[in-house]
Amino acid sequence: MKFFVDTADVEEIRALNALGLLDGVTTNPSLIAKSGRDMSEAIKEICDIVDGPVSAEVTATDYDGMMAEAEKLLAIADNVTIKVPLTEAGIQACHALSSKGVSVNVTLCFSVAQAILAAKAGAAYISPFVGRLDDIGQDGMELIQEICEIYDNYDFPTEVLVASIRNPIHVVASARMGAGVATVPPSVLRQMFKHPLTESGLAAFLADWKKTGQSIL
């Protein structure tokens, strides 16, 4: 499974990238606004940090506007992936861009039917939002399972990029279902390190070592 980090915080991205865990980054207008940065400058800096794809989202809602914004975003760096919403205009833009060899991430997916449309349009990634479905009483992970099954049935090359992840359980369940990518908030990625037995075991090892009076260096 590939790990993308879902943030526009450059310092967080730099720190997590140093761990060797990041395969890419996803951003959106809300994350850019939260960072307080100029969008183009933030995307450029992120692209300089990571080697993998960096999703930069259009804000236009019409086809012509999306295509114009995509052109500007693609000029920022070679590893920009264009992110479009799962609307008719978004799917049209996805088809046009992917036909030119542009990597497209279709976002705001909440149904299997929508995911099929994105794959047919040539999306490189489909982003189903599991946490937001959980919030309204639906099973977000069931959506991931169904999309993975259908994509496998037809050998669609579109990668399932699990988004709106709220906890490590979402990540593990996605991996078991065969999803290609999880885009994880920095806080959740750090939660994945944690286990009480790891912490207590390390404390015991260090206490025993201290009793020996030895030093490795």
Tens of each residue's pLDDT in the chain, 217 residues: 999 999 999 999 999 999 999 999 999 999 999 999 999 999 999 999 999 999 999 999 999 999 999 999 999 999 999 999 999 999 999 999 999 999 999 999 999 999 999 999 999 999 999 999 999 999 999 999 999 999 999 999 999 999 999 999 999 999 999 999 999 999 999 999 999 999 999 999 999 999 999 999 9
Q: Is residue 171 part of a domain?
A: yes
Are 22 and 53 a contacting pair, CB within 8 Å? no
- The one-letter amino acid at 29: P
Parallel/antiparallel/unpaired status of strands 104-109 and 181-184: unpaired
Q: Is residue 216 part of a domain?
A: no
Q: Is residue 47 part of a domain?
A: yes
Surface-to-core class of residue 213, CB atoms within 10 Å of its CB (0-12 exposed, 13-18 middle, 19+ buried): exposed
Q: Is residue 201 part of a domain?
A: yes
**Structural domain that includes position 85:** 2-211
How many distinct structural domains can be found in the chain? 1
Q: What is the pTM of this model?
A: 0.95
Q: Is residue 166 part of a domain?
A: yes
Are 70 and 82 a contacting pair, CB within 8 Å? yes
Distances in Å between the Cα of 14 and the Cα atoms of 27, 77, 113, 149 are: 15, 17, 37, 35
Distances in Å between the Cα of 121 and the Cα atoms of 18, 92, 127, 128, 179 are: 35, 7, 14, 16, 19
CA distance 10 to 79: 16
Q: Is residue 217 part of a domain?
A: no
The three-state secondary structure class of 11 is helix
Q: Is residue 134 part of a domain?
A: yes
Output the domain CATH number for residue 39: 3.20.20.70
According to DSSP, residue 77 is labeled -
Q: CA-based angle 153:144:106, to the nearest 5?
A: 90
Q: Is residue 41 part of a domain?
A: yes
According to DSSP, residue 1 is labeled -
* Catalytic residue chosen out of the listed positions 2, 34, 44, 83: 83
Residue 44 known to be catalytic: no
